[in-house]
Amino acid sequence: MNTGIIEVLAFGLVAIIAGFFLLVSMVRELAPNERRKWFLGIGLGTGIIAFSLKIGLIVVFSMFPGPMLALFPEREFDQFPVDDLFKGEALSTGKVAYTWQALPMTAPFPKDNPPSPEKIALGKKLFFDARLSADGSLSCASCHEISVEKGGSDGLPGSIGIHGQQGGRNAPTVLNAAFQQVLFWDGRAASLEEQAKGPLINPIEMGMPSLESVVETVNNIPEYRTAFSQVFTTEQPITIDNIAKAIAAYERTLITPDSPYDRFVKGDRSALSEKQIRGMALFESLGCIQCHSGPNFSGASLFGDNTPYRIFPAIPYTEFEIRHRLSEDLGAAVGTSDSDRGVWRIPSLRNVSRTAPYFHNGSVRTLEEAVRIMAHVQLDKRLSNDRVDDRSIRWSERDRQFNVVTDQAISDTEVEEIVAFLEALDGELPAQY
């Protein structure tokens, strides 16, 4: 029987019995006195009304599924095993749950650059064409290799440009870049079209002397003249804007929406292992989702409305900051403040297991180490396998209260579980035109 009904019936029965004995006492007391018989009528009438109200309340309360009173409190769960995820409804933890989202199957595009098969094919050709560099040695694909091994990056701490020059920053992946609202590590480009122009004239990347020289180079290639005239039906089809539009149209096809994680979120319970599910829960409970949120696991994506930047490292002067030289480059903070903390665009974690080395300077070789560093310098977690370190207890003299905070440490096992979950963000490479 519904717990709420039991509670109301119990209280109602007690009230009815008490009322009965009260009326009997009133009758015995008042019946000999003829002048007070009208009190007996009032008492009986009131009793009938009260009894009717009790019956009405029982009917009304029986319509609610949960207990209405605390007579028989239900058990509350703060934790539950992974297996319980698949046994009916998830149990409440009393916290506002984070909503996990799958990546869309197609990328959005600006109104002035709608895709077409011809434009995408043209953009792909430009993306892989080394003739767009000053010495004919590099293409966009040189630093953004479209392969399972490199995951849209190049696997180097700093990319190699013309004449063997090495850049100071790690090449971000081009995969799923279509979902980011700002591009480059410092977020200086607001669109793929704008981003595509930058490396062409960067002196230590593709090194073309000017954007006009890029247009001239493309215009001197007959096959491009034909292709551009078919895609851009304007009087002057080969412009730097149209070159960038074609490259961006191709890059918007480089998305990986069918990862094991996406299949799990869409209802395939077998898509993730128990270890990956534990890692997914840790990713949320430890606070990783504060920055790496949404379907593209980045606060800098088109899906969010928060700032796309974060201070990194947030916890200053740790051993990791010194060992990996994390503050030698301040990113977007240069020229904006006197702080010695770097400011960076939040990168996506899609395909992150394929894009080592990590961070803006490519100083970290393994994903396990990257997870430890982020937990320590961003989330202020201890690195410990001792359960005592996982909880902090503080006593407030003023309030005379304890403040107990859990999840204060991350263990080797938890690192492995988070890494296992991050590996579930690897998606199949898109079919190439």
pLDDT digits (tens, 9 = 90+) for 373-424: 999 999 999 999 999 999 888 899 999 999 998 889 999 999 999 999 999 9
In a domain, 73, yes or no: no
Say if residue 164 is in the same domain as residue 31.
no
34 included as an active-site residue: no
Judgement on whether residues 206 and 303 belong to the same structural domain of the protein: no
Q: What is the pLDDT of residues 163-177, one digit of tens each?
A: 999 999 999 999 999
CATH code at position 171: 1.10.760.10
CA distances from 275 to 83, 170, 190, 422 (A): 11, 30, 37, 11
392 shares a domain with 274: yes
Examine the domain organization and report whether 93 and 202 are in the same domain: no
- Give just the sign of the alpha carbon dihedral 273, 274, 278, 280: positive
Cα gap 79→147, rounded to integer Å: 40
The one catalytic residue among 205, 251, 414, 423: 205
Confidence category of residue 6, pLDDT binned at 50, 70, 90: low
* Over residues 330-341, mean pLDDT: 80
Dihedral pair phi/psi, residue 108, rounded to 5°: -70, 160
Q: 278 with 416, same domain?
A: yes
Domain count, the chain: 3
The answer to whether residues 338 and 268 belong to one domain is yes
Q: CB-based contacts of 420: which residues, under 8 Å, 6+ apart?
A: 273, 275, 276, 279
Burial label, 222 (beta-carbon count in 10 A; 0-12, 13-18, 19+): exposed
- Does 71 reside within a domain? no
Give pLDDT tens digits for 32-79.
555 555 555 555 556 656 665 666 555 554 554 444 333 333 333 333
pLDDT of residue 430: 84
Amino acid type, 319: E
In this structure, the answer to whether residues 316 and 412 fall within a common structural domain is yes
pLDDT score recorded for residue 52? 58
Which percentage of the chain shows pLDDT scores above 70? 76
Among 74-83, 186-195, 345-354, 401-410, which is the least confidently predicted range? Answer: 74-83
Under the banding of pLDDT at 50, 70 and 90, the label for residue 123 is very high
Residues spanned by the domain of 287: 82-103+257-423
Q: Is the pLDDT of residue 156 over 90?
A: yes
Domain boundary among 251, 280, 315: 251
Residue 66 domain-assigned (yes or no): no
Give the domain-ending residue among 225, 251, 277: 251
Q: What is the pLDDT of residue 81?
A: 44
Kindly report, residue by residue over 224-270, the tens digit of the pLDDT.
999 999 999 888 999 999 999 999 999 999 999 999 999 999 999 99
On whether both 235 and 347 belong to a single domain, the answer is no
Whether residues 132 and 247 share a domain: the answer is yes
| Domain final residue, candidates 207, 234, 251 | 251
pLDDT-wise least confident of 71-75, 149-153, 308-312, 384-388: 71-75
Pick the closest to residue 429 from 254, 301, 310, 270 (CA basis): 254
Average pLDDT, the chain: 85
